[in-house]
């Protein structure tokens, strides 16, 4: 039987920022439903949650697939009764290049995962939260969602889109008791960035180094 106070869904929970958020939430008496395409990473996060005394479940899903998103949302609602927190976080960087050299396939996949995936998550989770008349949603954009990001034009476009979606959703559903925010981290040391030069002061601020996912203060709005 579930003994936690809240139920959260975290997408991209198998690595990096999603894993750190899952562990943080689980430390706050929150049952964590860990969504990730990557089964190995998702199961590893679940083991870490259990090691620290938390409770959770791993659900394999591709956030760009309508069927998969409907599946993880209805599974959590039916099995655990509610969705208090939704961390809409899964994302990919794609292959960096100058814009004219971006392949269409690369562009399409980035938009499908980062933008459509965020949209689908909002679309189906908000329905549940509307019925509850409460809920907290955090979408993960990036500094690339508010400024130019050379070599990451498709990624930057997808994250600008996530910022736009969040602003609209926050206006539409705030009055209905659903608090919706977006976080825009700079460089964070995760699997996504492990092969990148992280010394760029524009991305990383005065410290000239990436943040660690565990220390992302932006996750406090949970």
Ligand X SMILES: NC(=O)c1ccc[n+]([C@@H]2O[C@H](COP(=O)([O-])OP(=O)(O)OC[C@H]3O[C@@H](n4cnc5c(N)ncnc54)[C@H](O)[C@@H]3O)[C@@H](O)[C@H]2O)c1
Catalytic residues: 155
Least Cβ distance, residue 4 to ligand X (angstroms): 23
Q: Which residues bind ligand X (CB under 6 A)?
A: 11-12, 14-18, 36-38, 41, 61-64, 89-92, 113, 117, 140, 142, 185, 187-188, 190-193
Q: Which is nearer to ligand X, 8 or 92 (CB)?
A: 92
User: What gap in Å lies between CA 18 and CA 183, rounded to an integer?
Assistant: 13
What the block records as the tokens of 60 is 């394999």
**Separation of alpha carbons 63 and 11, rounded Å:** 8
The nearest distance, CB 60 to ligand X, in angstroms, is 8
Q: Which is nearer to ligand X, 16 or 154 (CB)?
A: 16
User: Cβ closer to ligand X: 5 or 103?
Assistant: 103
Q: Rounded CA gap, 30 and 7, in Å?
A: 6
User: Residue 41 Cβ, how far from ligand X at the closest point, in Å?
Assistant: 5
Place of tokens 């508010």: 146
**31 — phi, psi (to 5°)?**
-75, 130
d(CA 70, CA 120) in angstroms, rounded, equals 9
Question: Residue 3 or 195: which CB sits closer to ligand X?
Answer: 195
- Residue 89 C-beta: closest distance to ligand X, Å: 5
**Residue 88 main-chain phi, psi, to 5 deg:** -90, 85
Please choose, from the candidates 161, 164, 179, the residue with its C-alpha nearest in 3D space to the C-alpha of residue 221: 179
DSSP structure class, residue 216: -
């Amino acid at each position: 039987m579930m003994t936690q106070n809240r139920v959260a869904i975290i997408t991209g929970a198998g690595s990096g920022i999603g894993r750190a958020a899952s562990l943080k939430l689980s430390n706050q008496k929150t049952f964590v439903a860990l969504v990730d395409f990557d089964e190995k990473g998702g199961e590893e996060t679940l083991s870490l949650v259990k090691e620290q005394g938390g409770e959770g479940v791993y659900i394999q899903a591709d956030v760009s697939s309508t069927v998969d998103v409907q599946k993880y949302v209805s599974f959590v609602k039916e099995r655990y009764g509610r969705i208090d927190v939704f961390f809409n976080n899964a994302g990919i960087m794609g292959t960096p290049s100058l814009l004219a050299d971006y392949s269409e396939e690369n562009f399409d996949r980035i938009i499908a995962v980062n933008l459509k995936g965020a949209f689908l998550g909002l679309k189906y989770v908000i329905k549940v939260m509307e019925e509850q008349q409460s809920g907290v949603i955090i979408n993960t954009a990036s500094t690339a969602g508010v400024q130019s990001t050379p070599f990451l034009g498709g990624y930057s476009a997808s994250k600008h889109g996530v910022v736009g979606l969040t602003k609209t959703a926050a206006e539409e559903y705030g009055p209905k008791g659903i608090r919706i925010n977006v976080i825009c981290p700079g460089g964070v040391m995760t699997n996504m960035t492990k092969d990148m030069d992280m010394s760029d002061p524009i991305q990383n601020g005065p410290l000239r180094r990436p943040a660690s996912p565990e220390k992302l203060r932006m996750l406090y709005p949970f």
